[in-house]
Amino acid sequence: MAGRALGIVALTATGVLGGCANPAADEALVAQTALVGMPKETLLSCAGVPERQASVDNRDFYTYRSSRIVSYPSPPPLGYYGGGWGRPYYGYGAGWPSYGYEVNSFDCEATFSLRNGVVERVVYGGATGGSARLGQCYAIVQNCMALIPQRTIKPSP
């Protein structure tokens, strides 16, 4: 009985986490290997001019940056009311109007290492972590991924 309950909990957790998947982050991870071998000319045509670049021996390093700020209204507050003149009444209800915005910032730096004019490695960095950063990294590599031949997609059972 305990094993069955544990199995149900595991399946539920898997379903909940699957709902939080970030397809852009997944594609950014795929791009780290799919773009290896891309010629420098093609990289510059699909990703554009890098924000920073450096050359050492026969290696070039191109760094691209992408960032965005997302804001949306804060949820309405729930307040606590009570007291006043006479008998106190207590309960939950709408509090004083408190309007504001929640602001999130997402950023990514993608550095392409090229040897002899061909992409050798793609490394991501930035202040944002996890799939939020990877999702923003996809904005850098998206046009280049469109040039990669379609991968074979296995049909779901």
- Cβ atoms within 10 Å, residue 1: 5
Name every residue whose Cβ is closer than 8 Å to that of residue 132 and which is 6 or more positions away in sequence. Answer: 22, 25, 104, 106
**DSSP-derived secondary structure letter, 135:** H
Which amino acid, one-letter code, is at 138?
Y
Tens of each residue's pLDDT in the chain, 157 residues: 555 544 444 444 444 444 457 899 999 999 999 999 999 999 999 999 999 999 999 899 999 999 888 787 776 655 544 555 555 555 555 555 556 777 778 899 999 999 999 999 999 998 776 777 888 999 999 999 999 887 655 555 5
Question: Considering the domain boundaries, does residue 15 fall inside one?
Answer: no
Question: Considering the domain boundaries, does residue 141 fall inside one?
Answer: yes
Residue-number span of the structural domain to which 46 is assigned: 38-75+99-148
CATH number at residue 42: 3.30.1450
Q: How many domains does the chain have?
A: 1
